[in-house]
Structure 1
Amino acid sequence: MSLKGKNIAIGVCGGIAAYKIASLVRLLIKENANVQVLMTPDAKEFITPLTLATLSKRPVLSDYINRHTETWNNHVDLGLNADLLLIAPATANTLSKMAHGACDNLLLATYLSAKCPVMFAPAMDLDMWLHPSTQENIKRLQSFGNILIAPGSGELASGLIGEGRLAEPEEIKQQIQKFFNGALPLAGKRALVSAGPTYEAIDPVRFIGNHSSGKMGYAIAAALQSLGATVTLVSGPTALPTPLHVVRHDVTSAQEMLEACSAYSEASDIIVMSAAVADYTPAAPANQKIKKKEGSLEITLKKTTDILATLGERKTARQTLVGFALETENEMLNAKDKLKRKNLDYIVLNSMQDQGAGFGGDTNKVTLIDRSGKVERLALKSKAAVAHDIAAVIAAHQTIINA
């Protein structure tokens, strides 16, 4: 999609990744967008305003007052005139200020005045990115409706390897195009996906768990994102990489998964609970490692809170709620009963009897059942293909309920 005539303001912060913005500006200008660059004072230490002014064909703005002309750079007008404000690279410092309403430079004043959508593309070192304060600021900004362009993984300026690299200019341009392309069926929608197992502690070194790999849930998160949704993935323990542009919230136990899903569910239009959550957890986990003794060991278990049923009780008319059922007997009967009891729109039935389906593998064979009782059996496919089938059904349902 052409960006012709779109007014895009780019806020550049003080980080080494600022050099990539020259390429991004050039790409956007080639798409016939109107680009206005704003820079924090520290950003000018990493790339010159002259470079970005030359590429954007507009003066770069950094101060409230233009000292040459003694005119005011009106942050209110900048925020009102933009069709999109992109903060890139968004440093940990600027993210914190945005999240808490601080306003000590022209870029932040423009952000607080903006009536247009805001995208932010973080870039920082691995430890800074993973720090709980940064992750909380990311969640806070997303709760305001701001759109995250997730950082990539690779070698960082410090020499560490991991997440924190600014998304590549071509990738950012594509995200902007997707945003302006109203054809994406889930554009503007927020999705919550759970995936993976839970580990229920017996003592500090042992747990009760299951064989879930998280592959199906991760594939669904990626599929929903590809259709334009802003996706939060609540993940139990797994070694899988986070899907591109998906926000991941790691948990361990069923209780932690309940708390995380409850926190995100109200703001979500789409909820897909594909995690294999433990039904029971040790009633009194030991504080120290249980030593091996002669004879048997008895562990008292208590029921965990049913996350899917809890979300079903809270479900609103605008939400699409999808659950999973892994059955070993009376599959169809049990799945339909679960769908009704938990107030679901769809349930995805996995059968342990089907070769190539179930935990761990890269393929799956599922049956989709909707609340009217309609049954659709899908052929054995890759989990990515199954995820796209499920995402397409969800997109169609969202279109219907929002018509």
Structure 2
Amino acid sequence: MPDLGPATVVDGGASRSLNRRTLLVGAAGALAAAGLSAPVRAAAHRALVAASSGPRFDPALARQLQRALHDALRDPSIHAPGAILHVRSAKLGAWTGVAGLGRVAPDVPMRPNDRFRAGSIVKPFVSATVLQLAERGRLSLDAKLPDVLPASVIGRFPTAPDVTVRMLLSHRSGIPEWDLPAIDEQIARDPLKVWTVSEFLDLAAAQPPAFAPGTNYKYCNTEYNLLSLIIEGLTGGSWRKAVTRGVITPLGLRHTTLPAPGNASIKGAHAHAYGELDGRTVDQTRVDPSIAGAAGGGALVTTVQDLTRFLDALLKGRLFRHRDTLRQMLTFAPAPDVGGQVGYGLGVEQRIFPGNVEMIGHLGTAAGYNAYVARLPAQHVTIASAINWAEDPSPLLLPAVHALATTHR
């Protein structure tokens, strides 16, 4: 199926562009970031350039992208010891660059294939699974929550009878958020706690609804926890198994996993995660995958290469039986938010970067990590990045996207 052109936007949502430096931090499980010590930052400036995957990749562009990696780690607003950047294009080929450290004390350079936790990037994986179930007639996207969830769940939320599955997917339900600063603090102090969806729902139910269902947009992790329960009710198994069977395995994402609750380790080569707690830099790599559940947090372990493979396949319609399913997923209603976000579809963000560069994908923040994957539809390029501190990735992404956009004018 051919690559999509510019995505559908309703009500002129693409008119707002990124006019400030900040992208977005604050997905489920994110912790406030502060400065690394001077010795660590100095070590982080050492860099390793990953080999190009083929001779077609423009060496001048590769140098620009590598410079963006170096400069980002030197930026005073960046605390991450290391960064990975991956670019994939049918015309350009594939390129991966790394800089800085994947682990501090002992110092280990960042490696091109290092795994990391991708936070809320799991949302399009979950959305695709829900849409697959809808294609198979297992549910309707316009079904109300009482039709797809038990009374013990919907009884927590007074507006549930007016909320549809589609509203959950697009963050338009008004269901309250559970991920508040106090919870992030609790996660930081007890990273191995195994959380249950019921705990998230109880925390959310203690808050008032954000707005009447369907009347507005507000990013909310609770909605994807509810979607995980819908998946489990329809499939009779865990949402992790359903996403693996419907998305990860068919696409051959060999380095992508959804570890079970209680398994806090990351298998294979991986970048360590860092953050600040009580004024000290701490290693946050080992957190329980139950943190945030299907909303993100520590649930998805992956690589930049697998993320671009996933997004390219998704946007080509390879996960769906009918093209109309992808059209619905990529119909962006206005969703103005920080970082140039102008629209949100069904589990997919639309952003406008400087130079009016459209980006279709998703951002993710986990304890100690920030990741982003997006397609530049006009340039036919996909980009993925990861840094090992939960902070704003703008110093890396903005120059990298500028280099790609100007190369493909």
Tell me the TM-score normalised to structure 2 length: 0.22
TM-score by length of 1: 0.22
**Larger relative contact order (CA 8 Å, sep ≥ 6):** 2
